Each structure stands twice: as structure tokens, then as C-alpha cells.
Amino acid sequence: MKLQYKNINSQFEKIQNLENANSASEIFNISFQLLNLAMQMINLGNILPHEMNNLNFQQQINNCHMQIQNLAMQMNIMNNINIQNNNMNKGQIMNNIYIQKEFRDCNQDQFLIHIGTKFELENNDLYNWKVIFQGPIGTPYEDGFFTLKIKFPSDFPKHGAEINFASKIYHLNVGNENTNEEEKNCGHICHPHLNEWRATGKVRDIPNYNVREAIYDIYDLLVKQNVMCPHYEEMYNLYKNNRQKFEEEVKKYVQKYATEPTTPFKKRNNLF
């Protein structure tokens, strides 16, 4: 039995590092080997628990399970998302895992679920998301369904994602193509957190800033406009001097450009 333990341990040490995985086929093979070793460890541990403790295999099993979870996540990405499997290196694998975790966390976030938010991959591309959310209750945006586009850089999370409005929206802090500004600024969101995150991958005073935090910030902008960084002076003057007229303009845009999506969409919980 001890010899069998040592043999398993030797195999585990050879394959437990992701550094050895440079292609999809290698990742699949390693994951299956790890799963098989974990099952062997557990079976032998049930037969000889004393030997298992002496050889510290419990920690090996835990490590093995962790590796399996990471590899299973990566396998899911490769099966369902359009990427170049044969050219993946360790850095690309880890980037994909980070983004996959962001996607999972966003879809499980209870606040985002309650306010009515839907996350999708565009064309099954992990690096390009579409987000649909409902406007905040009690604001002139509340009847709207707004679309955001999220684009992740190849070196995420070293640099944060770029998030823009795809829906036309009348807002102090969002670029609007009906003005004379360059088209590249259309949908651009002026927010210090988003700007800093995109440039540096982090935000001062907010540890572990992520996509969910970014969506919170954008949602808050629809609750309260940021008069410190308006995109347009004319719009700012209207907001400052004639709030009623400003909100009428907002509602015109909502009715014209932020209609309810035709695809299935779970609406917000108004009791939240």
C-alpha cells in the first residue's frame, strides 16, 4: 500500500502544475489524470487512514481537487467559447480563467439580479460581453432597458475592461453621437473609477475592483449624475438651470432608444 501511495504521489507531482499545459488536449489529459489520482487517493485513504495521515495525502487530495476545478473551468471555456485552442499558453489560460470567474460572479450577484441585469457573451467571445439592465426606480431612466458593451484586454486583469453604453442615452456623463463630437466617444462613460481601472487594473481605496463594482458605479450614475465631469457644457447648463426640461429629454431618449429587449429577460424585483 505504501508503494502505491508513493507511486500516486510521484505521478501527482509530475502533472499538478498548469505550466505543463500548452494546448487544449494537454489540459484535457491532465484534468482526467488528476481526477483519477484523486479517486485513487480517496479509495486508499479509506482503506488505510493511518497511512494516509502519515504521508500527508489529505493536502494532496485538496490540491488535486483545486486543480481539477480550475481545469474544469478552463475546459468549459474551450468547449463553449470561440478561442484558438492550439495557440494557448499559460498566460492566456489564466486570463481566461479570471474573465470566466468575473462572468460567473456577475451572474450570481444578488443585487444585480434584483435590479434586473443580464450578462451575455457576444458571439460566444469571452472577451466581449453585452450587458442589459433596467433603469433605476424613481429616476427618469426607470422605464428604460440599457445595453452596455464590455471589452476585456488581452492582459486582463493587469488592465481593466473598457465599458461603454451601446444604447443611446441622454446623460451628463455619457458620450452622445447626436452632438458634434467624434464618433469614437459615443457611449463613453466619464467616471474616475472606470478610467483608473481601465488604465491600471485597480482603483485606489477600492480593493479588488471588478466588473460588478463597475456596473454598480454605472447604475449609481443613473441615480445621480456627476456634475464634476460632464461631457457637454450645453447639457450641463440645462441640467443645472432647468431640471424638468432635462428630464423630459431623458425620457424622450428612453422611449426611443431604450425599449424592452425582444430576447428573454428577467425583469427587476420591484420589492427589492
Contact status, residue 155 vs residue 199, Cβ threshold 8 Å: no
What confidence tens digit (pLDDT) does each residue in 130-153 have? 999 999 999 999 999 999 999 999
Contact status, residue 95 vs residue 29, Cβ threshold 8 Å: no
| Cell (9 digits) for 187 | 457611449
Q: Distance (Å, rounded) from C-alpha 217 to C-alpha 40?
A: 48
Contact status, residue 68 vs residue 38, Cβ threshold 8 Å: yes
| Cell (9 digits) for 193 | 473609477
What confidence tens digit (pLDDT) does each residue in 77-89 have? 444 544 444 455 6
50-66: b (≥16 Cβ within 10 Å) or e? eebeebebeebbeebee
What confidence tens digit (pLDDT) does each residue in 196-220 have? 999 999 999 898 899 999 999 999 9
* pLDDT beyond 80 at 171: yes
In eight-state DSSP terms, residue 261 is: P
The residue with cell 469571452 is 126
